[in-house]
Structure 1
Amino acid sequence: MPSLHRSRLSEISADTLYRILWLRVAVFVVEQAAAYPELDGRDLEPDTELFWIEADGRVLATLRLLRDASGAARIGRVATAAEARGRGLSADLMRAAVERAEERWPDTAIDLDAQKHLAGWYGRFGFEISGPEFSEDDIPHVPMRRAAASV
């Protein structure tokens, strides 16, 4: 049975962290052929929390929640293993991350950069396109924002 977890980097076992990072590299660097520095240092920031869904010792989906210098919360690195897609796992993670962001920073907007073809999917969680399209590693993206819950 898949189980959802949330933790700061320093509280995650080496084995689990390896599986989270392996999944992110498998999806973003290998599958999407985006050669970029996946390990960008943001996982180490004190406000960052990693979320993941695990079953039978495998990480099936992951994302991270952090805080930008602007003060906005940010969700990123949303990834699901190819064989686990279509089961609603990333949706479960998104709901958990939005709830956690609103709990930690109640008067703060939540930002993310969505691959353009997924903008509608993120819209299901209250995100709206908030700026012009841009390209990252030759993949069209759009900035999106979910307004602060108290606004």
Structure 2
Amino acid sequence: MKFEFKHFSELTNEELYGIMQLRAEVFVVEQNCVYNDLDGHDKEAIHQFLRKDGVVVACSRLLKPGSRFSDYSIGRVVVKESERGTGLGIQMMEEAKDFMLKEWNAEKIKISAQKYLQKFYEELGFVVITEEYLEDGIPHFGMLLEYKKQ
């Protein structure tokens, strides 16, 4: 299974609904975090998502510099609870990194990672670049992936 990559304007109503439904299911309900998910950045993003039996089971949001950070960024990374532990999160991040490198020629990718996922992101090549901070009441680290020039 390969992830789809679509600009906000290319998403169907069903795709957008599936993405928003999964984000609410995990970030708001499961993590008990009340926050403003609709922050205005979705309209300028490339949305990466995977459907299984018609249901969005994993998604992320890719942004160009100047949107959320001064570097390229990946955010709103989420995998449906029933799909965790299958390698889907790793596949999603690898495909996101490949997309950003090939399509946007990204040299750096920044993320705001939940603290408990630090090791997961380090195994994907990201390094911690900030002190721990709270984002929406959840401990996070700023992390960065830099591609080495050949």
Q: Is the 8 A contact 1:107 1:150 kept in 2?
A: no
Separation in 1, partners of 2:31, 2:54: 25
Q: Does 1:79 align with 2:83?
A: no
d(CA) in 2 for partners of 1:31, 1:93: 20
User: For residue 121 of structure 1, what is the aligned residue in structure 2?
Assistant: 120
Gapped regions of structure 2 (runs ≥ 5): none
- 8 Å CA contact 2:100, 2:106 repeated in 1: no
RMSD: 1.5
Deviation, structure 1 residue 3: 4.2
**CA deviation after TM superposition for structure 1 residue 67, in Å:** 1.6
Give the partner amino acid of 1:85: R
TM-score, scaled to structure 2: 0.92
Q: Does 1:10 align with 2:14?
A: no
1:54: how far off?
A: 0.7
Deviations 1:109-129 (A, max 9, x none): 100011111011011111000
The letter of the residue matching 1:13 is: T
Matched, 1:91 2:90: yes
CA gap 1:25/1:149 in 2 versus in 1, 3 angstroms? farther
Alpha-carbon separation, structure 2, partners of 1:43 and 1:55:
22
Where structure 1 has 5 or more consecutive residues not aligned to the other structure, the ranges are none
Does residue 65 (structure 1) correspond to residue 62 (structure 2)? The answer is yes
1:134 aligns with 2:122: no
Rounded to whole Å, the distance in 1 between the matches of 2:125 and 2:90 is: 12
The residue that corresponds to 1:102 in the other structure is 101
CA shift for structure 1 position 89: 1.2
In the TM superposition, structure 1's runs of 4+ consecutive aligned residues that sit over 4 Å from their partners are none
How much identity, in percent, do the aligned residues show?
Answer: 35
Aligned length in residues = 148
TM-score normalised per structure 1 = 0.91
